[in-house]
Each structure stands twice: as structure tokens, then as C-alpha cells.
Structure 1
Amino acid sequence: MDEVVKGLIENEHVLVVATICTETVEYARKIHDTWPTATAAMGRVIAGSVLLASTLKDKQKIMIQIKGDGPLSEVVAEADSFYRVRAYVKRPHIYMGLKNEKIDVGRGVGKGFLNVIRDLGLREYYQSSVELQTGEIARDLAYYLNVSEQIPSAVSLGVYVEPDNSVKAAGGFMIQTMPETRAEIVDFLERKLSQTQSTSSMILQGMDSLQILEEVVGLPIEVLQRGTVTYFCPCTKDRVINAIVTLGREEIQKMIEEGKTVDVECYFCKKKYEVTVEELKILLREI
């Protein structure tokens, strides 16, 4: 079962979060039929969205969008405060080979921007962007947190893909210091993080999320929250119809004149919906 653990280093002002989301990433891989580079990129963005979701309040959502000039083009993951996540990659059939014995995600992503969109339950979304630094996603996400949100952060994300293309390990961790954090603790964590093994290696060794955090920081953890990570898409036919409304009367009239049923596929879960000509006519009258 996929999980997320959020806590504080005991007696210190340091937030720590870790997730293991192997089953979720493998489920997403099967839905989207991704090849290794696309799988690794999508899995990292999924893990990153879960980590950021740990900072949300009830019923809020957060989306990470990676848009680059590399072959993958775009990778998106959205997670809510209940750790329900969904994702897609625009070009799923991409494999760029290895770099330093790891899947070369950076070359697959290329140069571009990391966008974070927060749905805080208000009328408008809050969006902020930073330029991609490496395309490897973890360092880019840490850069976003440090620069855009001004929260000193360290982020590690990892996905291990088997030769048969299945996902054997996926997850990540995030360490965030606060203004009250003592300088000696910051120095200690920096030294400890420089010696830390990869997230995917720790997952392959059988560590759970709490054990990963304890291994990473080397100090006792006060657990604040545990959650279960699941793949979930809330798409419905009503949502599809609402999306068609945004096209405007002229475009809907053209669809009606063509006399064909409109087929719509959800980016996130690949579910297909049909909107008939009669339904389009009713929709046109209503708007």
C-alpha cells in the first residue's frame, strides 16, 4: 500500500515528509502505456505532487506541470489533501537511454518551466513558475520552493524501472527548515543529505516512509500525519460537457452541423465519453 508520512524532527523546527508511491506510479504507467523515460518523469512528478500535497489544507489541490522543449514535451500530476493523485505525460512513448546508470530524465524534459498551480478553494487558482534548472525534477522542485515560496528545502525523487518496463520502486522525500531552525542543525542536515543514498535504493531495500526519513536525517521523528496514496480521477460526463461549454456557441454549432457524436478522452485516466448531437443541441439551447 502506498503511503505518505509527515513529521517534525523531534525538538527541532524542521518539517520532513516522505512518500512511497510505487503502486500508484505503476498504475499510471499501465494507463498511459509509458516507456521508461516517460515513466520515470511521470513517477517523479507524481511523488513531488504528493509531497507538496502534505502542505495543503482540507479539500485543496495542487498541480505540478513540467513543460520543456525535450521529447516528453509536458508532464503533469495533480494531488489533493487526501493524497489522491492523477497524472499524464504528453508523449508517453519516449526512452532516452541511461546517464550515469540512471534513466536520463533531464534530456527527456529539456529546457523550459516548472509551474505549480494551487487550488485553495477560492474563485481563482494561484500559479507560480520557475525556469527548469536541470530537468531532473527533484532539483527543479527544490529550486521552486527556495525561490518562489522562499522555503529552504531539499527534495529527492526516485523511480526504478525494471527491464520489463514495470515500476519496482517510486517515491521521494522533502526536508524543509524554518526561520527558527538552528544553524548547527542546518549544517548537520546538509552533511547528512550529502551522504544519503537514492530514494529508490532505500525503497528497494524495503524501508517504509518513516524509516526513509530516519535514515535521511539521522534524528528521531515526531510523526504528525500518515496518509494513503491512491490514483484517482474525478472526471465525469458532466465535467466533459462543462468543458465543451467553454468552446462557445459558434464552435458547438459547428459540431452540431457536422452531425457526428463527439468523442472525448480524459487526459488523466483515459476514460472515453460520447456526447451526441442531441445532447449538443440541448447544451446550445441552455447557454
Structure 2
Amino acid sequence: MIKKKIEDRDLQEHLASLPEDGREVFLLHNDLIRVTAIQATNLINQMRENHELGLLETYVLGQAYLAAGLLSATVKGNDRIQLNIECGGPIGGVFVEAWAVGAVRGYLKHNPIPLQRQLTSLDLNELYGPGFLSVSKLLEGHKTPFTGQTMMAYGDLAKDLALYYQQSEQTPSLFVLSIHFDTAGQVTGSGALFLQAMPGCEDAVLSQLEQTAGRLASLGSFLSEGKPVSEYVQEQFASLGVRHLAHQPLGFSCPCSREQYTRYLQQLNQEDQADILENGPFPLELVCVNCNTHYQYEKFELASLLSKAGGGRL
């Protein structure tokens, strides 16, 4: 993966002043509520830069990145989790995956998102249209993923994820996905929360939590001021008793590489290799859909690589 440089100097300085991105886990109310909180302003800005996204596209894909960053706390080791949305509206769909170690990558299926008219709000219900949300866990040592799916009832990723957990895992949950834009359209603060009821959590506790959640201050705005997400959780949920459990780094990262794509080309059959060498186009460009890294090969370079693999001829 090649990370594109963020050119805006004011944004560079702002991002440098923020705490590092990361994922924090807490327990509330005598360990009856689990809270996963992430700080991800740098992650969202790097995602935007790599994928060359406009404001709307940043908002849509950014929410999915935040959600995947939260869900990755439900797996461990080398396991990863995938969030896939297939929908009939202009968004078309979203695919994002995140590893337990905190790496997140993924893409919009329509970039840019085709609009019939100018937006008057960031209500995404019409832009998603009818669709399905799937969550898959890819666990080390298992050949097939564990996948659950639900119909998108709200066209709101946070609400639809909460519905998924209620239906698929019978776990009352709440998601907050927050991206704060300044007046210039730059993302200056971004973070998310995932609240889950633990076994034995009574209805009265859930009601109290829902009331507290309804009064939450904007997380993205809070983080844009340079404060850590742990401080936000301590402040907003002080009445419920907060106990910190764990910290994990978080970042936009993709395991793709030039070597990986070179092996792919060398493993093509000889007819396909010969066709590429004869017809190009050159430079040949292969693009990783998950991080939008472009890998280019000149004709003389590709001929040499394929020759070494026993395929094409110099």
C-alpha cells in the first residue's frame, strides 16, 4: 500500500496536533455495559486522500470505516471482520474490512456517488435505497466465514447495525458514527461508539443508557478540539461508572504490495501474458480497490518479470 500525502498544510498541522488514532474499551454500570470507542480523525483523512473522495463520499465511506473499526473489537489475533452493504440507491454499496489488530481498509462501489439533484442534508436513506447489510467474521483456522445479514430498515448505518445486533445476536446495542467537517469541508474530528448490553443487564439499566445516549455531545466535534476519546467517555458516562479495559492502535492500512501484483501477473497463463505484452496498454496499471494504490509496469519491465517467471519473452 502507498499512502498518498495530504497536501493541505492547515489540515496537516491540525492532524499533527491530535492524539493518535486508537480504539478503547470500557465497562459501565458494574460491568453490565461494554463500550468500544474509537478516535479516527487521521484514519478518515487518509482514507479520503487515498480514495480521492468528495465530501459526501467521505461521509458515507467514513461511516463504514468507523463501523468496521468498532466491530474489529469483537475478534482477536489474526481474525478480521467484513462489513458489506448491497443497495439499490445511488451509493450502490460499500465494502470494508478490519483486522483485530486495528487495520481498516475498503471502498465505495460508486465513486463519485451519482446524484440526481443537489443534497439538502446528509440523510442517506434515499441514497442507500433498499438494501442488505452483512457482517462476516473470518476467523483464523476456519475455512468459511461466519456471516449474518439483515435488511436495511433505516438507511442509517448506525441504526441498521444496532438492528443487526438485535436480530442476529439478540444483543441490545447502540452505535454512534461521528464525522465533523469544518466550514471548508475538511474532516477535523472523527470517532465512534459501540455500546452493548452484557448478559444480565436489566431493562432499567438499558433505559438509563438510552436516556444518556440521547443527550450525548457530538463526538466528532469533541475530538476536533484535540481531546482524547477516553476523556469523552469519562465525561459523558460519568454517572454510570466507567472502567477502562484495553487500548488498541487503529489506522488505514492495506496488505497489498507491488510484489503481490507482480506474482499475480507471473501466474497468468502464457496466452494472457503474451496478449498483455503485445497489446498493453503501457504503462500497465493495476489498482487495489481497497486502498486505491496504483501499481504501474513499463513494457520492458513487465517483459523481464514475465520472462523470469517462464512466461512472456523479451
TM-score, normalization by structure 1:
0.85
| 1:12 has 2:34 as partner | no
| 1:182 has 2:206 as partner | no
| 1:221 has 2:239 as partner | no
8 A contact 2:76–2:101 mirrored in 1: no
Match 2:59 to one of 40, 43, 51? 40
CA distance in 1, matches of 2:264, 2:244: 41
Would you say how many aligned residue pairs link Structure 1 and Structure 2? 279
**How far does residue 207 in structure 1 lie from its aligned partner after superposition?**
4.3
8 A contact 2:189–2:222 mirrored in 1: no
After TM superposition, the structure 1 stretch with the greater mean CA deviation from structure 2, 204-213 or 142-151, is 204-213
Match 2:220 to one of 200, 221, 224? 200
8 A contact 2:190–2:224 mirrored in 1: no
Q: Give the equivalent residue in structure 2 for 1:109.
A: 128
CA distance in 1, matches of 2:164, 2:175: 11
Q: Cα distance 1:24–1:212, how it changes in 2: closer, same or farther (>3 A)? A: same
Letter in 2 for 1:141: L
Letter in 2 for 1:82: V
Please give the per-residue CA displacement for 1:151-208, whole angstroms capped at 9, x wherever unaligned. Answer: 2111111112234332122111011002211332122112212222333233345542
**How far does residue 255 in structure 1 lie from its aligned partner after superposition?**
5.0
User: Is the partner of 2:74 in helix, strand or coil?
Assistant: coil
Match 2:271 to one of 244, 247, 253? 253
Within 5 Å, give how 1:129-148 maps onto structure 2: 129-148=149-168
CA distance in 2, matches of 1:106, 1:199: 22
CA distance in 1, matches of 2:234, 2:69: 19
RMSD (Å) for aligned C-alpha atoms: 2.6
8 A contact 1:214–1:221 mirrored in 2: yes
User: Is the partner of 1:104 in helix, strand or coil?
Assistant: coil
Runs of at least 4 residues of structure 1 off by over 4 A? 241-246, 277-285
Q: Cα distance 1:222–1:271, how it changes in 2: closer, same or farther (>3 A)? A: same
Q: Cα distance 1:224–1:277, how it changes in 2: closer, same or farther (>3 A)? A: same
Larger radius of gyration: 2
Structure with bigger strand share is 1
What stretches of structure 2 of length at least 5 have no aligned partner? 1-19
Please give the per-residue CA displacement for 1:88-141, whole angstroms capped at 9, x wherever unaligned. Answer: 222232375232xxx233333222111222211122222222111222211111
Please give the per-residue CA displacement for 1:203-256, whole angstroms capped at 9, x wherever unaligned. Answer: 34554222332344332211111122111110024543666699x85xx73453
Match 2:119 to one of 97, 100, 118? 97
8 A contact 1:37–1:104 mirrored in 2: no
CA distance in 1, matches of 2:166, 2:265: 38
**How far does residue 9 in structure 1 lie from its aligned partner after superposition?**
1.2
CA distance in 2, matches of 1:242, 1:14: 47
Match 2:69 to one of 29, 46, 50? 50
User: Is the partner of 2:230 in helix, strand or coil?
Assistant: helix
What stretches of structure 1 of length at least 5 have no aligned partner? none
TM-score, normalization by structure 2:
0.79
Q: Cα distance 1:242–1:163, how it changes in 2: closer, same or farther (>3 A)? A: farther
| 1:74 has 2:74 as partner | no
Q: Give the equivalent residue in structure 1 for 2:251.
A: 230
